Chains A and B, each alone.
Chain A
């Protein structure tokens, strides 16, 4: 799920950036530092939308670095248990398949793949129905349901299922080619 939230961060800036473009430098650094990171609490920071406030800088003794408290708004993405996501398959093996929904990695184990889909090994390992009409392989797009998340301080990993109504392949590039 996506959230638009306000976060705060103390930014340290090297003295060489001090000057008329200090603010721009600070924002650029903020984007570089924050976007794409993941916190267990807020999920992945997808993009900064606005810098609300830059507080007074505080010179750190000894180094000359200055710490600025920065308040910014950003779009964050955090997966939840029960959420339906659309993801791209990245790897298929006998134990199931891995997929990515943006920055989130999801594993779908083989017992959460419908029983009528069987693993086919080979160059392009895949799960296929007996009539061959549905195939899950690398780069397939699937709709899945998150049934568990493991949230570390810097990482979120999800377990998904496609063994439910309206879940499964939504677009199979291999079938078209």
Chain B
């Protein structure tokens, strides 16, 4: 359930529809300096790299005036792309949120210790509403197409008639008066001449007068527009098709999200201490405990069959029997099926997945090890392939963003690289916890796989957050 397709959708939509939107202040003259076209795109792009974010923080990160940003966000709220939330809060509340932000690995640790205040402030938060974005974009495209097509087919237009003799014009509303009892045509009220429908005239004499020419030109223009639209919006429609059957990422309300994020952070044993600096130093694996990444799900395509695999947690203590959420059991069974039958009841997956640190029988370990080795090799191959694909996708993405907004592109690249690195760390960790055969850990961390927001997979995290607190233990191992 990756965010990336949806983020791409947002980015494409931003460029398609909001590229030349100016966020004018009410009292700001539209001077050259006030020309902030493209800001909308930058803001949307920034939002694809975040989940819930405090608007002040976002403004700081984008080096925008908060008022300006708010205006943009309000616009997007009206456009139904963004959900916003406002609440009065003390410094403590703000801290909770910051912790949540840190926990999601956003890397935007903006709140510093010194900034704490005791006063009550109203803070606004915003977040992309992916489900709605999807709908809104589809609806917009539909309306655009329909409008042009209707006009082109002269659908919903009232037919007009003219008298070739006296030039009197009629519309279809006069039809009742124009009907003749003698033949099948409409007749002029003045001279009883046979009326000609406007469009027929157009078709009949291509060399018509100016009026007709204008009509024809308009038709051509419409056709042209429709064609151009389909051409230019092709990436967007393709992306829509791609996204169509994917589950929509859902962050939930601000409160819910915050609670989840913090719970996950606590569960993994360190709270807001995590920041991006460690992971961005390129310590791919084992280095950085990311509260969220620890539990991120990884999808692997193995020989055509899509095998999903959990990033299993090893529970070295393994004392308490934990009830695992159903999704975990299912996926786990997929992985090591026999194991369960031999060793454990299915529900104790956390123990079975980390048998090395446990006091399990040796032979079983060996047996399992070889199987896991095999599996992991295949898995890793698939992973590398996937990373390559992502790299390619990202490059494409970056090219787009660079061309459109060169000034901000470095920002975005830097940001996504951070994530990429982290993601690699996460993956390696998963291998770590198998705790054997290290050969495939040597492979290079893919630098630019950014943008795959595994960490945003909150629905999963929420369930798993009750897990153990020893990521660090086996990461060192």
Contacts and interface: CB of A to CB of B under 8 A. Distances in A.
Answer yes or no: do A and B interact: yes
Interface of A: 91, 93-96, 98, 105, 107, 109-112, 119, 121, 125, 147-148, 150, 157, 159, 161, 163-164
Contact of A111 (B159, B173, B175, B185): B159
Contacts of B186: 95
Nearest to A95: B186
B194 to A, nearest CB: 10
Nearest to A164: B155
A117 B452 CA distance: 53
A107 B172 contact: yes
Given A93-B184, A93-B185, A95-B185, A107 B155 contact: no
A105 B176 CA distance: 9
A81 to B, nearest CB: 9
Contact of A93 (B154, B172, B173, B179): B179
A160 B185 CA distance: 18
Nearest to A93: B184
Contacts of A94: 184-185
Contacts of B153: 163
A146 to B, nearest CB: 10
A157 B199 CA distance: 22
9 contacts: A95-B161, A95-B175, A95-B195, A105-B176, A109-B175, A111-B199, A112-B155, A157-B176, A164-B155
Contacts of A111: 154, 159, 197, 199
B403 interface: no
A157 B173 contact: yes
B154 to A, nearest CB: 6
Nearest to B175: A107
A95 B197 contact: yes
B277 interface: no
B173 A110 contact: no
A148 B173 contact: yes
Contacts, number: 58
A114 to B, nearest CB: 10
Interface centre among A91, A95, A159, A163 (most CB of B within 10 A): A95
Give the interface size class of chain B: 20 to 34
Given A95-B197, A147-B157, 7 more contacts: A91-B179, A93-B183, A95-B161, A95-B185, A105-B176, A111-B154, A112-B155
Contacts of A119: 184
Interface centre among B154, B159, B183 (most CB of A within 10 A): B159
Interface string B155-171: 11111010000000000
A107 B183 CA distance: 17
Going nearest first, the 3 A-B pairs with the smallest beta carbon separation are: A94-B184, A109-B159, A93-B184
B115 to A, nearest CB: 56
The A interface is mostly helix, strand or loop, or mixed, namely strand
B173 A121 contact: no
A160 B83 CA distance: 41
B336 to A, nearest CB: 53
A121 B199 CA distance: 21
Interface centre among B153, B172, B197 (most CB of A within 10 A): B172
Nearest to B161: A95
B155 A161 contact: yes
A147 B155 CA distance: 9
Interface in B355-400: none
A147 B158 contact: yes
A110 B184 CA distance: 12
Contacts of B158: 147-148, 159
B180 to A, nearest CB: 8
Contacts of A105: 176
B172 A110 contact: no
A165 to B, nearest CB: 11
A95 to B, nearest CB: 5
Contacts of B154: 111
A109 B158 CA distance: 8
A112 B159 CA distance: 9
Nearest to A159: B172
Nearest to A158: B173
Nearest to B200: A111
Contacts of B179: 91, 93, 98
Interface in B180-200: 183-186, 195, 197, 199
A90 to B, nearest CB: 11
A149 B157 CA distance: 12
Interface centre among B175, B176, B195 (most CB of A within 10 A): B175
Contacts of B195: 95
Contact of A95 (B155, B173, B184, B199): B184
A96 B172 CA distance: 10
Given A94-B184, A94-B185, A107 B156 contact: no
Contacts of B176: 98, 105, 107, 157
Contacts of B173: 107, 148, 150, 157, 159
A111 to B, nearest CB: 6
Contacts of B161: 95
B378 to A, nearest CB: 50
Interface string B206-247: 000000000000000000000000000000000000000000
Contacts of A107: 172-173, 175-176
A107 B153 CA distance: 18
